Structure 1
């Protein structure tokens, strides 16, 4: 697969990118280099059992149990927070959002 100017235009449109003319050649070169690098994966021999043996070794190792420990109470967590308000953590506002919105009601 070779990325040409037409495909680059389609990709830029899909990604909502505006590519200045002076960056197009660099972008084409970089994208084609990435595609060439991924093509190298076709050269890998994936029919052997090396991958299966490696995954079996991972499964056989003993891992610690996934158990919650050292739990903080809600009040303890709020006292450790940089900023809190009543029963909630206070975080900086997200740029462009000025009020709380109800996610359950998209209207």
Structure 2
């Protein structure tokens, strides 16, 4: 497969790119180099893939059991938090978004 100007135009349109003339030449060269590299994968001999598959098998007994441990209760977790509000964790505002506040707690 060779990437020509027509295919480059289609790709640029799909990617919503505007390519300047000097960028087009570089892009054509780079894309064709990538396609050539991928085409080299066709030359690999992958008939020995059975050996690879068997070498990565895990025995079921080698896995650890999936057991929950060291549970932390709600009150204990809140006690470890830097700031909390009765039943909830309090966290700093993110990117200018202010946290919900109860109108009755604000001074008028």
TM-score by length of 2: 0.60
Give the corresponding residue for 1:79. 81
Q: Map residues 1-107 of structure 1 onto 2, 5 A cutoff.
A: 1-48=1-48, 51-60=49-58, 62-65=62-65, 69-70=69-70, 75=77, 79=81, 86-87=88-89, 92-93=94-95
Q: Where do 5+ consecutive residues of structure 1 fail to align?
A: 99-107
Determine which structure has more spread, i.e. the larger CA radius of gyration: 2
TM-score by length of 1: 0.60
Q: Is the 8 A contact 1:2 1:32 kept in 2?
A: yes
Query: Runs of at least 4 residues of structure 1 off by over 2 A?
Result: 60-76, 83-93
Q: Is the 8 A contact 2:84 2:90 kept in 1?
A: yes
Task: Indicate how the Cα distance of structure 1 residues 25 and 60 shifts in structure 2: closer, same or farther if over 3 A, else same.
Answer: same
Q: Where do 5+ consecutive residues of structure 2 fail to align?
A: 98-108
